[in-house]
Amino acid sequence: MTETVAESKLKAAFGELQEILGERVSEALVVREHHSHGESTHPPGVPDFVCFPQSTDEVRRIVLVSVKHHLPVVPFGAGTSLEGHVHALRGGICVDMRQMNRVLRISAEDMDATVEAGVSRKQLQKTLENTGLTFFIDPGADATLGGMTATRASGTTAVRYGTMRENVLGLTVVLADGRVIHTGTRARKSSAGYDLTRLFVGSEGTLGVITEVTLRLHAQPEAVTAAICAFSTIEGAVRTVIEVIQLGVSVARIEFMDDHQVDAVNRYSGLNLALKPTLLFEFHGVSEASVAEAARMAETLSLEHGGQGFAWQTTLAERDRLWKARHDVYYATGALRPGSSVLTTDVCVPISRLAECIVATRAELDQASFPAVMVGHVGDGNFHVQCLLGPDQVAEADAFAARLVDRAQAMGGTCTGEHGVGSGKKKYLKAEHGEALEVMRDLKRMFDPENRMNPGKVVDLD
């Protein structure tokens, strides 16, 4: 048969990628399918090739191949994203960053580090052992730091230590035309020019490929304690959160689980928590006395709102077990209904509206035909819903998710607090950003006029 123009283009591109990477480029179907999806229920997108670069220069040369042959480029980290970020919707070149996994520099004096994009969260934490420092941003999954930067990730500790937005000092990025730029400095502040670092944090690979990240580190706290508190009502639990934040109680983690989520965690992780709306607290401080004072204030507030007293988790083993159970909620929820698909969504609202939003959402879920659980980083107004679906319940769940976003946006909130936009939440951006969405498109056109960088995510140009 005669080779088509498209086949000829792909063949030529593959040959050029082999010259750059040797055996570190694959067109095997099993490899391509593995890189066609994250952990969401969104339809997969299979790339034409998967590349495994080991340096910024190799990424640059891969991008130049994409320029020559007009092929999309889709960065891939650990594949743990939930809104279709890594799905190669238009084929092209998947750039798997996990072989770029060197910790390039640690400065204990300046409390910062520079890592390649494929370094995982747990790998960095392991490397920081015995330095007195750590990196606190913790989305649950052992995601790569490049992926966490690209999606502006956060997690359980964001209430005290912020999100990736506050903890990224600078970046190395390969742009769509193959140029390599360095944004930011190691200085803790700067007023020199546009803040390009913040532009790329959260850009989801649509403006360039992040290859190196300079991160802010934090001192390991001298004293840590954790506690579990069950409540009579959801509203009582969330009202406690609101007052803890408003009164400035020094809390490092404050997580919410509804009774359905508690049931899932008990079954999956072997815990024996009361089947009630529950808050998980962790307190960090410079002394045992400061931690005890913060915990006492939080417990007093909880008792005023129907809390049933703190169950303390004082040892490292107890705390590790508790937070591992919290991070395993995705898998715990799936185990409630084996074989189901899991629709996972998140919103974030001003904390003054949090109780209203969560109570209304739980009331709606109680009328749904599918089981669902709620869990959240409620200290910053962010919560998640996981819906367990049979084949005939997908449309119902999609309609619920749209109403949830409408509710959050009407309260002055956002369609996503930390999952990102990807392909799944593009449809909500117009209502949230108005004319600013067209400015985002203008930026995309400027950085990527051919729409080759992770096309179909965040904003559409066609």
Domain of 260, CATH number, reads 3.30.70.2190
- What is the structure's pLDDT at 196? 97
193 and 239 assigned to the same domain: no
- What is the structure's pLDDT at 5? 80
- Is 288 within a domain? yes
228 and 215 assigned to the same domain: no
Q: Are 330 and 342 in contact (CB under 8 A)?
A: yes
Bridge partners of residue 115, in order along the sequence: 103, 213
248 and 297 assigned to the same domain: yes
Q: Are 46 and 36 in contact (CB under 8 A)?
A: yes
d(CA 458, CA 325): 32
- Single out the residue of 89, 153, 194 nearest to residue 446, CA to CA: 194
- Single out the residue of 418, 458, 421 nearest to residue 138, CA to CA: 418
Domain extent for 253: 223-330
67 and 175 assigned to the same domain: no
**Token pair for residue 159?**
């209430």
229 and 326 assigned to the same domain: yes
Q: How many CB atoms lie within 10 A of CB 34?
A: 16
- What is the structure's pLDDT at 324? 92
107 and 199 assigned to the same domain: yes
d(CA 157, CA 418): 13
87 and 109 assigned to the same domain: no
- Is 437 within a domain? no
158 and 91 assigned to the same domain: no
- What is the structure's pLDDT at 338? 94
247 and 158 assigned to the same domain: no
137 and 214 assigned to the same domain: yes
Bridge partners of residue 213, in order along the sequence: 115, 171
- What is the structure's pLDDT at 2? 62
266 and 212 assigned to the same domain: no
pTM for the model stands at: 0.94
- Single out the residue of 385, 382, 365 nearest to residue 374, CA to CA: 385
Tell me which of 163, 187, 219 is where a domain ends: 219
Max intra-chain CA distance, the chain: 79
Tell me which of 330, 353, 377 is where a domain ends: 330
- Is 308 within a domain? yes
d(CA 51, CA 101): 15
160 and 242 assigned to the same domain: no
- Is 461 within a domain? no
d(CA 309, CA 299): 7
- What is the structure's pLDDT at 1? 52
- What is the structure's pLDDT at 462? 74
d(CA 412, CA 244): 21
341 torsion bin: left (phi>0), alpha (psi -120 to 50), beta (else)? beta
What is the chain's pLDDT, residue by residue, as a tens digit (462 residues)? 567 888 999 999 999 999 999 999 999 999 999 999 999 888 999 999 999 999 999 999 999 999 999 999 999 999 999 999 999 999 999 999 999 999 999 999 999 999 999 999 999 999 999 999 999 999 888 999 999 999 999 999 999 999 999 999 999 999 999 999 999 999 989 999 999 999 999 999 999 999 999 999 999 999 999 999 999 999 999 999 999 999 999 999 999 999 999 999 999 999 999 999 999 999 999 999 999 999 999 999 999 999 999 999 989 999 999 999 999 999 999 999 999 999 999 999 999 999 999 999 999 999 999 999 999 999 999 999 999 999 999 999 999 999 999 999 999 999 999 999 999 999 999 999 999 999 999 999 999 999 999 999 999 987
Tell me the CATH number at 137.
Answer: 3.30.465.10
**Token pair for residue 176?**
């769509």
d(CA 143, CA 297): 34
Q: How far is residue 217 CA from its own chain's centroid?
A: 18
Tell me the CATH number at 343.
Answer: 3.30.70.2740
- Is 374 within a domain? yes
Tell me which of 78, 96, 114 is where a domain ends: 96
- Is 438 within a domain? no
**Number of domains present in the structure of the chain:** 4
Tell me the CATH number at 34.
Answer: 3.30.43.10
- Is 49 within a domain? yes
- What is the structure's pLDDT at 411? 98
- Is 114 within a domain? yes
- What is the structure's pLDDT at 143? 95
Bridge partners of residue 284, in order along the sequence: 224
